[in-house]
Amino acid sequence: MRMFSRTLKMAFHALRNNVMRAALTTLGIVIGVAAVITMVEIGNGAKVAIQRTMVSMGANTLVILPGAITTAGVNNGAGTMMTLTPQDKDAILKECSSVIWAAPIVRARAQVVYGNRNWVPTYVYGTTPQFLDIRDWTEMTEGEAFTEHEVLNSSKVCLVGQTIVREVFAGQSPIGKHVRIRNVDFKVIGVLSKKGANLMGMDQDDIVLAPWTTVKYRVVASALSGGNQSSTSNASTSEVNTLNMIYPELQQNLYYVPTATELTDTTQQMRFPNVDQILTAAPSADQVAPAIQQISSLLRQRHRLRNTDPDDFSVRDMTEITKTMSSTAEMMTKLLLCVAMISLVVGGIGIMNIMLVSVTERTREIGLRMAVGAEPGDILRHFLTEAVILCLLGGTMGIIIGRGSSFVVSMVLRWPTAVSVGAILSAVFVSASVGIAFGFYPAYKASRLDPIEALRYE
């Protein structure tokens, strides 16, 4: 310990003797570390910004779909079972800690009529106001969103997208106007902001949003059909079955009717009202996995499924988007790492260069120190300590300058930056390792000097 403090003292003494040179030597490290920290902090800020953008694209959203019904070996696809209820949504919101928003969705495919114009939107959704939070769509171009109160009242109000404004209202402001959807009269109270096409190329602005209760009970008005237009009910088939008119005696079914045994095999749970899907959102993209876990176990419990039973629902996440996001973030991190490495290596070579000069310049001193009893190890330690001190001082300076410049960047350019403790710690660690790595060769060279030769050196 005493040896160590002596070595430190000697190293500081030697550096003090040549302050200007020491300062210039560390400049490389100072700039390197400052660059690393600024880069990482700006990069982190950019990452946060990208994450925010990705979230608006729906990276943190989860779609819960009811399970599939299988009739005679034919799987009718997701959404044919009616297992999801609005109460499920309430329970998810209350009990899953990784879910911040949840909204039920009731779908309908219907014609919208206004005056002499009509249009069939891609989406007619019945939902709650939280749908807008989940889709990051709370900003309205005009008017305002409907409220929870209007959902409870099943008020006949709706929000329309930009495409509807263009096609149905010919670009006029639709606020306060009344449209008919399947002969139900809706008052337009808001216009959604423009969102454009989604990743699949579907126009997201071609949408009408209304309280789910209204869509469910007034528009779709059929608990059994579940509002899912693709699952055709037997009732409607018999209406159009013209065979009945020709052969009234014949009980003819166009479609396969499950037998009693088959029906008991696939129990159709009739807990109403059901919804077509539940849209939920996790607070951030990395909370998506725990959210899936929590939702699955909660729904299994609520639906009273035994351990051996398969899920009667499915949870979908936006794998494509999250993948893009994580690969973007990873690429940025790697890029920054490359830049950081280059500047630190350059700084390290600067240190090595100056230490080599210093060893040559102090050959006589080294010879003398060896003559009076310094072991090769002492000399090695001495020069290594000098290099590490230089690097650590440079690292400290670099941290201060890096923090300062990232602060300036965030103030002047208004870029988001985020303080990175990891970057600061690794900068200190890396600058110390650079000191050891690039200080070792000169120090080793010094320790291998022959005292006789060194003393004679001019």
Partner 1 sequence: MEFIELHDICKTYHLGELDLPVLRGVSQQVAQSEFVALMGVSGSGKSTLMNIMGCLDHPTSGEYWLDGREISRLTAKERARLRNRMIGFVFQSFNLLPRMTAFENVVMPLMYSRDNLTERDMEQRAAELIEKVGLSGRLHHRPSQLSGGEQQRVAIARSLIGRPQVLFADEPTGNLDSRTSEEILDLFQQLNHTDRITLIMVTHDPGVAQYAQRIIRIRDGLIDSGATPSRPGDAP
User: Site residues (CB under 8 A) for partner 1?
Assistant: 2, 6, 10, 13, 17, 364-365, 367-378, 451-452, 455
* C-beta of 6 vs 316, nearer to partner 1: 6
* C-beta of 171 vs 373, nearer to partner 1: 373
| C-alpha dist (Å) from residue 182 to 106, 150, 157, 405, 437 | 15, 20, 14, 61, 77
Q: Which H/E stretch holds residue 180?
A: strand 178-181
- Helix segments in 195-287, DSSP class H: 212-214, 234-240, 243-246, 260-265
CB of 17 to partner 1, least distance (A): 5
CB of 33 to partner 1, least distance (A): 29
* C-beta of 4 vs 255, nearer to partner 1: 4
Q: Which two tokens stand for residue 57?
A: 């694209």
**SS3 sequence of 132-144:** HHHCCCCCEEEEC
CB of 389 to partner 1, least distance (A): 17
β-bridge pairing 123-127 and 207-211: parallel
* C-beta of 258 vs 451, nearer to partner 1: 451
Question: d(Cα 27, Cα 21) in Å, to the nearest integer?
Answer: 10
Burial of 387: CB neighbours in 10 Å, binned 0-12, 13-18, 19+: buried
* C-beta of 316 vs 448, nearer to partner 1: 448
* C-beta of 25 vs 163, nearer to partner 1: 25
How far from the centroid of its chain's Cα atoms is residue 140's Cα? 24
Burial of 284: CB neighbours in 10 Å, binned 0-12, 13-18, 19+: middle
* C-beta of 382 vs 403, nearer to partner 1: 382
CB of 378 to partner 1, least distance (A): 6
CB of 367 to partner 1, least distance (A): 8
Cβ contact 279:88 at 8 Å:
no
* C-beta of 50 vs 374, nearer to partner 1: 374
CB of 366 to partner 1, least distance (A): 11
> Residue 116's closest CA among 165, 160, 182, 170?
170
> Residue 81's closest CA among 224, 206, 218, 219?
224
Quickly list DSSP for 66-89: E---EETTEE--TT-S----HHHH
CB of 342 to partner 1, least distance (A): 36
CB of 348 to partner 1, least distance (A): 27
